[in-house]
Structure 1
Amino acid sequence: MKKYALYIATLCFGLSLSGCGKDFLNKNPQGALSEEQVINSEGVEANLLGAYGLLNGNVSGTWGNSSSAPSQWLFGEVASDNAHKGSELADDPSMNRIEMLIPNPANVHLSQMWQAYYEGIARCNRTIALLRRDQGEENTISAARAVEIEAESRMLRAHYYFYLWRVFRNIPWVDENTSPDEARIIPNDADVYPNIIADAQFAVENLPDAKINGEMGRMDRTTAKAYLGKLYLYQANYGLALPLFKEVIGGKDITGMPFQNNFNVDTEDGPEVVMASKHAINPDGSGDNANVGDMLAGVHGTSPVGCCGFHQPSFDLVNAYKVDASGLPYLNREYRVDPYLSDFGQTDDEKAAYVVDTAIRFDPRLDYTVGRRGIPYLDYGVMPGDAWIRMVNWGGPFIGIKAMINQSQFASNAVPGLPYVTGLDVNIIRLADVILMAAECEVELGNLNGAMAYVNAIRLRAATLPPKQVNGVTMATYVVQPYASFPDATYARNAVRMERRLELAMEGHRFYDLVRWGIVKETIESYSAFESQYLPVYGGVVFLPHSAYFPIPQIEIDRSAGTLIQNDGYR
């Protein structure tokens, strides 16, 4: 396969045969081909699959794309109040700076994010360019299929640009009409968001209703509608976003779609999937098409996984799952009163005698999102506490669940000997996300009853989760009830925002939500004050105006010979 190392300063094009569904993720290189040889149906389709290949944020190999993971756990969760980097203080200190919101332009995770997603953009651009040449010269692709290919490419390109825009905000626009020489000098002083919307609009108008070839990883009109709605939502354009969300939701009843199925490799292609990064273990057992972006979240120590101990839920997140006597969440941080800490800070003797307090009222989604001592963890057995934690006094006593697979699934869905590299898909958009975005729109458009109905659908589904038990004993007072009313817009807004946190925790949304809601400074600084009572290193975080986005990688500025301008606050 011809490899094109495309970054924004050099603008070559990528060609890969990694695909978008598990059945055709397992492609092997077919040798070097000239450009003339790929101006045909087979070559264009192969380039398109290569464009899909960057959905997992991985250009090559099985290391080095944590920052570009489709789950966006580093920027979307660790930078927020939901999670800590975890692991140890000295392990990847560049992540520590992102968590503390003091990144510098030389941070390796910034350049990895930039390069991975501009590679994805390049593959989309190359697909469109080859398609145009085929239609003008060879015409081996039908007109109908040509429109679909362009729509798929532009939907993927919109996604890649949107991921970059959320992190860096001020980015250069490069499309299929940009030459390599032009790309070197394109500045980042123009708003690219209208172009992103235009790509998504084209996709809505031209993608088919059904998945092409029945492959779940493909873009279709439903995916495009959800994504375009999300783009409008980030602009606070609720009137345009809501109809799209309603079309995606249709008559679907989420209460019958098990929450846990979204995070199980055997049930991941369920009805809740709107857009996913498809992952698979290659036939030879290698994992470059696997979920390598989340591999560092592997459960550490004596656990069946044995590595790597990153992406640990925060005390604040865990306590947010407490509910009041009515089975409703605490919307004003009352959950911080008498916080639940598991066995954190106890003496060795106290830990030896530790017993789970089953009287605490918890939303059951807690124990399907967070691993805590004394509670069954997937099929690994009861989580023992410190023995599965890399460094408790650094990352806290909790571990994530959503990125892990069952031990019984290791043989066919994990790299041999490396069970933290799995074939588990990552949901980029799922139906619950769409429903809660619709609820948000309803609040802002004044339909509080409509918003409540959407939120209650999510809560009714949560109430069906099987309680976690040990020897027949239920390990918490699990309760989650629907709201009886949304008395005013402020209450409704807070309820929707809390529901997004509880439902989508550890899935990469939180930091970006806080930024677009305009509450990120107060939230992060309050969180820092609370969390540092137990993990002092996280104290004193100050959220500055520029902290809503991250610096342009210095290496990219250098490659552009100064054409790219550093973001304000990082100069």
Structure 2
Amino acid sequence: MKNLKILALSILFLSGCSDKLLDVKNENTYTDETYFKTQTQFNESILATYAVFSHMGMMSREWYFIFDLLANEAERSSALVGTELQLTDYSFTNNNEDIVGLWASLYRMIFRANLALKVMETWQPGDDSEVALKAQYIAEAHWLRGFAYFNLVTNWGRVPLKMTYDDSKTNSAPRASVEEVWKVVESEFSLAIPDLPVAYPADQLGRATKGAAVGFLGKTYLFQKKYDQAAEQLVKLTAAPYTYALDPKYDHLFGEDNINTPEVIFAVNHTYTTSNTQYYMFGGQEGEDGKTFHTGRAQEYGFNDWENVTISNALVAAHKYNDPATGAAGYIDPRAKYTFYGATSNGGDTQYCDFCAAGPIKYPYDFYSNRYRKYEPYEFQKYTEAPMSGINTHVMRYADVLLMLAEANIEKASPNIPTAIGYINQVRNRPDVMAKNYPTTLTQTAAREAVRRERRIELAGEQVRWFDLNRWGIAKETLNAEHPAGPGQQPFLDKHVLLPIPIAERNSNPAIAADVAGDWN
């Protein structure tokens, strides 16, 4: 992470030797029982759990492909082949490497959190500061385990629960019910809240805060349609002791200095080290290449670089809708120019390199194609040069919280539409956006339409839409309308709402093998 040094621990498990004459203890090797002795080492167990955010299927690379392509936030270009192409045309199977990597990394995060919780039991703090740190580290382990199970239950439904270190070392484990997994997620974030700090010093940014635990607990309730409980949690983030605020500049959220934005609830902090680590996201996360934490997104999405994908036509079109104030057709959302390069007619930015030494350059494809501007460095440099972006991945930010609050107020048993619209308009009133406001007199149906549109535009390309479409129950109808089946495009089927259980998991876990229907889930 940018300001939080990530260490990947390698714990060597020893086996005994039958010949006692040869059974000599190597003092230079460690086990989970012998290594953790000091505050620094206990901290390493937590940092190793955060390190999984850079692993296969996660934010260094596959995360953005999986959730942008599945949700049609991004579309294929001619460079897109193989594993990622399967995601956009819905031809992926239970052996898709990106999905397999996501499953494996989420369970690796659980394994490491379980290890951290186990070794914390042996820590005898030497003073009050260590007492507080021990409580914080335990809370962080619960938060990380909650994050992993949140993403497992939302993407796979019924999954195995491995709640201890010994459980994590056992292959065969049955799937728990969706309700049981959600209870664990609720418990993990609830356990994390009391002992996480509201904020960290500058050299510790990137760790989960109290606000991140409250935010994810609220999100957990929202995803279960427990709207009153969701609102009760999420509204806490709008008042003291929290100081979250919308960043005055939308652009600032997606630049290399966005670690300092007041809008971050939780972000994976990226940093680039040296040129010999630039391709670490292709499997080198815990070898010599692992001494970095950057992401390949800028180059892989960049129109002047690899351009594996483009922004989807449907997402571009979503930025043009009826004027919220007058109802007139053809209103273009001001965030279009910050989200994609394109033509004036669709609101896209028509030039790049505004801050380059040689001056602005006309965007060359404005009359026939649009490309992502968000998460790209093209306002400051013509090319990305290498996959070495240090732009942080937002996992939850304050605008997301406000829009979840709006949704909860729209959907709860006694809807509060004026309050909901107030939250939506607060997001639209960001100083450099100032989109037209919605009237507070909207019907519940119109307010629901407004918050769903707002989430799509405000959080475009932030790997949010896949989760939104599925929990709203409209993924199949929406994605088939945007991606009509035909040559090179398979339809989105009912089964695609959940990802397939990886074949490797079925092969190693007989309890799951007997519980998978239709070779899928």
TM-score (norm 1): 0.75
Map 1:170-181; keep pairs closer than 5 Å: 170-179=158-167
Q: Aligned partners of 2:84, 2:65: CA distance in 1, in Å?
A: 8
Specify the code of the residue in structure 2 equivalent to 1:187. Answer: P
Aligned to 1:84: 75
Query: Does the Cα contact within 8 Å between 1:448 and 1:486 map onto a contact in 2?
Result: yes
Aligned to 2:350: 375
Specify the code of the residue in structure 2 equivalent to 1:422. Answer: S
Deviation at 1:319, TM superposition (A): 1.0
Q: What SS class does the counterpart of residue 396 from structure 2 fall into?
A: strand
Question: Structure 1 residues 426, 369: closer, same or farther in 2, change over 3 A?
Answer: same
Is 2:479 aligned against 1:549?
no
Is 2:402 aligned against 1:453?
no
Map 1:60-209; keep pairs closer than 5 Å: 65=56, 69=60, 72-88=63-79, 91-135=80-124, 142-179=130-167, 183-191=170-178, 192-209=181-198
Query: Does the Cα contact within 8 Å between 1:279 and 1:291 map onto a contact in 2?
Result: yes
Q: Aligned partners of 2:342, 2:388: CA distance in 1, in Å?
A: 22
Q: Name structure 1 gaps, 5 residues minimum.
A: 1-19, 59-64, 335-359, 466-478
Map 1:406-445; keep pairs closer than 5 Å: 406=378, 408=380, 417-418=385-386, 420-445=387-412
Query: Does the Cα contact within 8 Å between 2:247 and 2:253 map onto a contact in 1?
Result: no
Specify the code of the residue in structure 1 equivalent to 2:438. Answer: Y
Question: Structure 1 residues 328, 223: closer, same or farther in 2, change over 3 A?
Answer: farther
Query: Does the Cα contact within 8 Å between 1:203 and 1:224 map onto a contact in 2?
Result: yes
Aligned CA-pair RMSD: 3.4
Query: Does the Cα contact within 8 Å between 2:248 and 2:432 map onto a contact in 1?
Result: no
Deviation at 1:385, TM superposition (A): 3.9
Query: Does the Cα contact within 8 Å between 1:71 and 1:508 map onto a contact in 2?
Result: no
Aligned to 2:236: 247
Q: Aligned partners of 1:280, 1:46: CA distance in 2, in Å?
A: 19
Larger deviation, residues 189-198 vs 122-131: 189-198
Deviation at 1:115, TM superposition (A): 1.6
Query: Does the Cα contact within 8 Å between 1:551 and 1:566 map onto a contact in 2?
Result: no
Question: Structure 1 residues 566, 93: closer, same or farther in 2, change over 3 A?
Answer: farther
Q: What SS class does the counterpart of residue 196 from structure 1 fall into?
A: helix
Select which of 457, 476, 491 maps to 1:521: 476
Is 2:289 aligned against 1:291?
no
Q: Name structure 2 gaps, 5 residues minimum.
A: 12-27, 279-289, 344-348
Query: Does the Cα contact within 8 Å between 2:246 and 2:398 map onto a contact in 1?
Result: no
Query: Does the Cα contact within 8 Å between 2:244 and 2:262 map onto a contact in 1?
Result: no
Specify the code of the residue in structure 1 equivalent to 2:351. Answer: P
Deviation at 1:141, TM superposition (A): 8.2
Deviation at 1:229, TM superposition (A): 0.5
Deviation at 1:76, TM superposition (A): 2.4
Specify the code of the residue in structure 1 equivalent to 2:316. Answer: V
Q: What SS class does the counterpart of residue 259 from structure 2 fall into?
A: coil
Select which of 18, 32, 38 maps to 2:36: 38
Aligned to 2:432: 464
Specify the code of the residue in structure 2 equivalent to 1:376. Answer: Q
Map 1:483-522; keep pairs closer than 5 Å: 483-522=438-477
Query: Does the Cα contact within 8 Å between 2:247 and 2:261 map onto a contact in 1?
Result: no
Query: Does the Cα contact within 8 Å between 1:25 and 1:279 map onto a contact in 2?
Result: no
Larger deviation, residues 484-493 vs 163-172: 163-172
Query: Does the Cα contact within 8 Å between 1:323 and 1:361 map onto a contact in 2?
Result: yes
Question: Structure 1 residues 410, 114: closer, same or farther in 2, change over 3 A?
Answer: farther
Q: What SS class does the counterpart of residue 134 from structure 1 fall into?
A: coil
Aligned to 1:223: 212
Q: What SS class does the counterpart of residue 257 from structure 2 fall into?
A: coil
